[in-house]
Structure 1
Amino acid sequence: MPIKQFFYFDAIECLPENVFQFSATTVNIDRNQLAEWKSNLFSQQLNKVSRYYSQEIIFGQDFQHQLSTLKCFLVGAGAIGCEVLKNFWMMGIGCEKEGVIYVSDMDMIEKSNLNRHFLFRPWNIGQMKSNTVAKVMSTWKSSVNIHAFVDRVDSETEHIFDDKFFERLDCVIDAVDNIPTHKYLDYRCVYYRKPLIVSEASGVKSNVQVVVPRISEVYERLTNKKVADHVRSLILEIGCDDLQGNEIEDVPYVNYIFR
């Protein structure tokens, strides 16, 4: 495969392991009946008037309902945040009455943002990012329940993002570009036992880490690990030559390479 000319990505691990797999000892059905059952299933799903049928046919209607009723907190409405919100809308997250998307960003839109933040337009310059994305998404055909904040998420705003706020969440998405906020959200999510997705990007490089409390390693522990000198040198050589030796913090990337 020509690595520099072709990129292949799949999420096959999302599929159930038992798709259309029946045991003769548990299900008494012949081959013709099974084929008819499959055909009817697909025709029923495809004939449904649903913009999420492609998800429902793979994961089921119950799973789609769970997505629609999720309560998610997105911190950061920049380049990554805009992409996340677009994907949320396409997946149907927060589209039912019980679901909601909270988004917080304390920054205003600048002209330099327009080439990367696709939800913003020239007339939005000077407006708050979070308020703008909420207004834009509310105009889409299948609008979502979205609530915007213009506050920094840190220890000084815990009267806003308090215990009740975090306890009602299903997940948190960290789309900011500073380490202190990453570590603060990591601490809060571990405390309240909420899944956290950390996204980082710099130029054409990016990193995504999923933190599941009591199951996966937390963000702060990974970033505080010391990298051996020979590993540090190799990482600088193969993919991070624009960084200095004391600036390497992408330890998940290091672990991935050496597994």
Structure 2
Amino acid sequence: MYNDTVLDHFANPRNVGSIPDADGLGISGNPVDGDKITIYIKVQQNVLTAVKFKTFGCGAAIAASSMLTVLATGKTLSEALKITNADVAEALGGLPEQKLLCSNIAADALHAAINDYTNKNTNLTDSKATAAILFETENAEPALSEKIEGLTDANQIKRYLRHIIMPDIGGRGQKKLLDTRMLVCAADAESCDLLLRYLTAIGIGHIHCHFESKAGWELALQTLNDLNPDVTFQFADDFVTDADLTIIIGNTDYATRTTGLLLNSSSPKISPTFISVNEAWQGCFGLCQNRNELTVFLNDIEKKGFSVQNDCNDKHFSDQLGLLLSSCFVGTLLAIEAVKSRLNIGVPLTDIFYFDLVNHSFDNHFSTSDQVFVEFDFSSYENEINNKLTDANILTIGAGGLGCPANLVLAKAGVNKLSLIDFDHVEISNLNRQILHSTATIGLLKVESAKQALEAMNPDLEVTTYSGAFSKENAREIIKKHDLVIDGLDNLPTRYLLNDACYFEKKPLVEAGALAYYGQVTTLVPDEGPCFRCLFPETNNQTAGSCSETGVLGPVPGVMGVLEAIEAIKLIIGIPATLKGSLLMIDALETSFDRFTFRKDEDCPLCGKHPTIHELGDFTFICETAHTNANE
């Protein structure tokens, strides 16, 4: 498949590694093959005196990166910017047609590194580079803050950094969110808690709240103000007719009644309106642009099997639990849809989106009349369900974008024993997604900040914290004290360690990840299905993008964390329909949920027929130098 020159550069790559004090850094990738290339440069008198690379990808990507560093070293900046895909491929003696993109992304990474250097030393016009420099260089704040389009406040740039570095949001998009006026209609503050937290965290600048009851509002307002002081709140006694966007969220009775009031209001027109209808373990939501669409929406959900039901306070505990989970799940999704709607990104929501959390049904064609439901009699196990949640002892590794929503939902659901492990401290750039933390807790250990927030919600809650790093020295000792584990990590090496430790201690692991607009979640039960290594076999060339490099829309890890909590609850109370043996993948830009099944790998080094991993660390290695099978 490859010629001798390509194989030589693949097997013996030149200039591999990083430059700690690099003058410029560029990153590029090919989503088709999953390649990622990072280029580091040193510049002296406008000449590239050193060019190095690190890559995660196929043999062609490695060879292209290696050859590129040879071609670029010693060139002037203007000469290096002229190096193209064709130049790299020609120097290699040719690449297979399907691998030509690999040399292209190498050139892109070099150009990005040169632009990074240029931006640092000229007018700094690129918003992504500017944001990254500002985040690292405190003294540069006043000058650099003026260069990010739409935002001028340095603290705002830091707070929304993970949004700004995504090209389709950027400084301009974040400014538009901060200028947005939104109306949220709900029965009370508690019934839309996660929605309000995420709208606040992502910087929806002006939020009007129209609630039937003011119960809990003052406490909620205090929490929201501390989460993001950029956002202003106003309690609205009537509909705000000039809002940019309206969200109605509640059970069928509330949503139907409030939508009817909106239809009959005297306003000549209504703002674009999301309506969310939530019942126990299931619900739906849609976007209506006018009165006619509001009427069609109400008629459609009635035909699909949703009808006005009794107030949740009269229901069994399991129904109240199911309604809570539905509200938390849809609250995170609505925050995403609000951003998509305001910034015109992604696929517009044109159909009603239905979901069933028991059976993992997420689509635009769901009907309660023909859905095949798992047989689980909640009513027969009311006391048992409550007791199991109260007695459960759950450990979360990581108190960030996944761990915060997961533990918030678990605490609301009645789990009284939670444990958190995280070595990191709260930073302002965490607050677009880590909703248990606040402006006041910046600088605190994340586990301490999260503990304060969780215990403020429920004084009876017992929160155990571990403030050190999760390592092979303490992993098994910590895990064995708990009933199950939730993964809130952001790197592959520790995920393998966590997977192995849970397997050896025979503890279920709920695993999830999120980046940009995408996420995935699964449940791993030792000896009852595949493990993480079965799904993602470990090689000596594995890196993964992080939200610090790629960015992440705040509510996206929120969706994944809520789903992790729901999976944990289902495991605890015995609902058979979990994600064991399945991977649920989410594309928030398309509001799509795709579920894939996977089986145990009989050759898995951990749980296969002939295991080679017998203790932690036996097989866990992540090499910075890139080597893969040259015959792939």
Unaligned runs of 5+ in 2: 1-285, 287-347, 361-372, 540-549, 551-581, 586-593, 599-632
**Residue 92 of structure 1, aligned match among 398, 411, 414:** 414
**Residue 173 of structure 1, aligned match among 486, 490, 503:** 486
Deviation at 1:61, TM superposition (A): 1.2
Higher strand share: 2
**Residue 516 of structure 2, aligned match among 179, 183, 203:** 203
Q: SS state of the match for residue 67, structure 1?
A: helix
TM-score by length of 2: 0.28
Given residue 445 of structure 2, which amino acid in structure 1 is its aligned partner?
A: M
Is residue 2:440 matched to residue 1:123? yes
Preserved contact between residue 425 and residue 446 of structure 2 (Cα < 8 Å): yes
Taking the aligned partners of 1:217 and 1:193, their CA distance within structure 2 comes to 13
Given residue 91 of structure 1, which amino acid in structure 2 is its aligned partner?
A: A
Aligned to 1:237: none
Aligned to 1:77: 399
TM-score by length of 1: 0.65
Aligned to 2:624: none
Taking the aligned partners of 1:59 and 1:176, their CA distance within structure 2 comes to 34
Identity of aligned residues (%): 22
Deviation at 1:144, TM superposition (A): 1.2
Aligned to 1:65: 387
Given residue 145 of structure 1, which amino acid in structure 2 is its aligned partner?
A: E
Change (3 A) 1:215 1:141: closer
**Residue 423 of structure 2, aligned match among 97, 102, 106:** 106
Preserved contact between residue 358 and residue 374 of structure 2 (Cα < 8 Å): no
Taking the aligned partners of 2:430 and 2:381, their CA distance within structure 1 comes to 36
Taking the aligned partners of 1:219 and 1:126, their CA distance within structure 2 comes to 33
**Deviations 1:73-129 (CA, angstroms, capped at 9, x unpaired):** 1001001111001111111112xxxxx211011111111111211122112111110
Aligned to 1:138: 455
Taking the aligned partners of 2:479 and 2:422, their CA distance within structure 1 comes to 17
Taking the aligned partners of 1:182 and 1:76, their CA distance within structure 2 comes to 11
Given residue 206 of structure 1, which amino acid in structure 2 is its aligned partner?
A: G
Higher relative contact order (CA 8 A, sep 6+): 1
Aligned to 2:356: 10
Change (3 A) 1:189 1:162: closer
Aligned to 1:51: none
Q: SS state of the match for residue 520, structure 2?
A: strand
Deviation at 1:166, TM superposition (A): 2.8
Taking the aligned partners of 1:73 and 1:127, their CA distance within structure 2 comes to 20
Deviation at 1:220, TM superposition (A): 1.4
Taking the aligned partners of 2:427 and 2:595, their CA distance within structure 1 comes to 36
Preserved contact between residue 195 and residue 212 of structure 1 (Cα < 8 Å): yes
Given residue 504 of structure 2, which amino acid in structure 1 is its aligned partner?
A: Y
Deviation at 1:7, TM superposition (A): 2.5
Taking the aligned partners of 1:141 and 1:257, their CA distance within structure 2 comes to 37
Q: SS state of the match for residue 494, structure 2?
A: helix
Q: SS state of the match for residue 169, structure 1?
A: coil
Deviation at 1:16, TM superposition (A): 6.4
Deviation at 1:136, TM superposition (A): 1.4
**Deviations 1:140-198 (CA, angstroms, capped at 9, x unpaired):** 2454111111111112x42xx454x4333110001111111111010001101100001
Taking the aligned partners of 1:256 and 1:74, their CA distance within structure 2 comes to 24
Q: SS state of the match for residue 354, structure 2?
A: coil
Change (3 A) 1:18 1:172: closer
Q: SS state of the match for residue 120, structure 1?
A: coil
Taking the aligned partners of 2:380 and 2:405, their CA distance within structure 1 comes to 23
Specify the structure having the higher radius of gyration (Cα). Answer: 2
Unaligned runs of 5+ in 1: 20-55, 95-99, 227-241, 243-250
Taking the aligned partners of 1:59 and 1:209, their CA distance within structure 2 comes to 26
Aligned to 2:470: 153
